[in-house]
Amino acid sequence: MSEASRELRTLRDLMRFAVSRFNEAGVFFGHGSDNAWDEAAYLLLHCLHLPLDRLEPFLDARLTRSERTQCVQLIARRIGERLPAAYLTNEAWLGEYRFYVDRRVIVPRSFIGELLRERLTPWIAEPDEITSVLDLCTGSACLAIIAAHVFPAALVDAVDVSADALAVARRNVTDHALDERVRLIESDLFAGLRGRRYDLIVSNPPYVDAATMATLPAEYRCEPELALASGVDGLDLTRAIIAQARRHLAPHGLLIVEIGHNRDTLEAAFPDLPFTWLETSAGDRYVFLLQHEDLPQ
């Protein structure tokens, strides 16, 4: 890496170097990018304090010696420590929303985020009539914060069993100036929410099954296991949410849950539930919707 610091001159040089080294090392992607080029562009633009969506104008810009050193060190850490890029930069993005992250929370990447940014059209006809939202397993509070932005009349409860995760969530809530509207609650799912009902409950709970947990790439093993693993078939938390959600939903309320690659397993486990599968950028197998009257008593 010291040779790279001496020999490479432009951002284009560093991009080529980073892509080559990432591919050579077999770096795994999936925390915001899915290929070596996009990962390199993000890390280098962030390191150089350049706009994240403006690579082309800067490709032939010459870098100072200290800038080259910092960039090469960042590339070396991505390879050597196998940390997701978001942990190296302490930020993650869902659309236009930026969140602070570190290893106390999983890297935000929920499909529910894109559905919320569309205000859950057509399932919610009047966004201003949503006055109460619950985000279960909130982690960094990314979904709770997006919900507060897109439903301006809503008070949002953000629940997590992890005090460490809630510390990160607090920072993000404050960064988005939402301390008056987003309430953080340490609770095991609904346990601390007796008597509370919501117009909307969203959750991106742990959903990785035991077999997959045993073979996760190193980058995913950097994330808290508590936020990933959910029993033998990946549905332990989802079962608990379905069993308890009705008593916490308003009569017109909606439950929206992300379940990873578990659609077939979930439908086999609950053959009588009328799941509605919501269309996302990756297809219609990852996020389900149930209405209040659909849920078990």
Q: What is the CATH number of the domain that holds 16?
A: 1.10.8
CA distance 137 to 258: 11
Quote the radius of gyration of the chain (alpha carbons, Å): 21
My answer on whether 170 and 277 are in the same domain is: yes
Three-class SS of residue 36? helix
pLDDT of residue 6: 72
The residue out of 34, 64, 89 marking a domain boundary is 89
My answer on whether 278 and 214 are in the same domain is: yes
pLDDT string in tens for the chain (297-residue length): 667 667 889 999 999 999 999 999 999 999 989 999 999 999 999 999 999 999 999 999 999 999 999 999 999 999 999 999 999 999 999 999 999 999 999 999 999 999 999 999 999 999 999 999 999 999 999 999 999 999 999 999 999 999 999 999 999 999 999 999 999 999 999 999 999 999 999 999 999 999 999 999 999 999 999 999 999 999 999 999 999 999 999 999 999 999 999 999 999 999 999 999 999 999 999 999 999 999 998
Q: Which of 232, 236, 238, 241 is nearest to 209 (CA)?
A: 232
The continuous run of DSSP H or E covering 288 comes out as: strand 287-291
pTM of the predicted model over 0.85: yes
CA distance 148 to 113: 12
The continuous run of DSSP H or E covering 212 comes out as: helix 210-213
My answer on whether 48 and 142 are in the same domain is: no
Q: Which amino acid, residue 48?
A: L
What tokens does 8 get? 């490479």
Name the residue range of residue 14's domain: 2-89
My answer on whether 74 and 190 are in the same domain is: no
My answer on whether 52 and 168 are in the same domain is: no
pLDDT of residue 7: 81
Three-class SS of residue 195? coil
pLDDT of residue 1: 62
| Inter-residue contact 147 to 202 (CB < 8 Å) | yes
My answer on whether 31 and 59 are in the same domain is: yes
pLDDT of residue 2: 65
The continuous run of DSSP H or E covering 16 comes out as: helix 11-25
**Domain-embedded: residue 98:** no
pLDDT of residue 17: 96
Three-class SS of residue 277? strand
**Domain-embedded: residue 95:** no
My answer on whether 158 and 263 are in the same domain is: yes
**Domain-embedded: residue 239:** yes
My answer on whether 168 and 268 are in the same domain is: yes
| Inter-residue contact 255 to 295 (CB < 8 Å) | yes
- Residue given tokens 């390199």 in the structure block: 40
CA distance 73 to 180: 40
| Inter-residue contact 78 to 22 (CB < 8 Å) | yes
My answer on whether 58 and 183 are in the same domain is: no
Q: Which residues pair with 155 in a beta bridge?
A: 132
My answer on whether 123 and 6 are in the same domain is: no
Q: Which amino acid, residue 202?
A: V
Q: Into how many domains does the chain fold?
A: 2
Q: What is the CATH number of the domain that holds 244?
A: 3.40.50.150
My answer on whether 180 and 284 are in the same domain is: yes
What tokens does 223 get? 């994330």
Please provide the size of the chain in residues.
297
Helices (H), 85-125: 85-89, 111-117
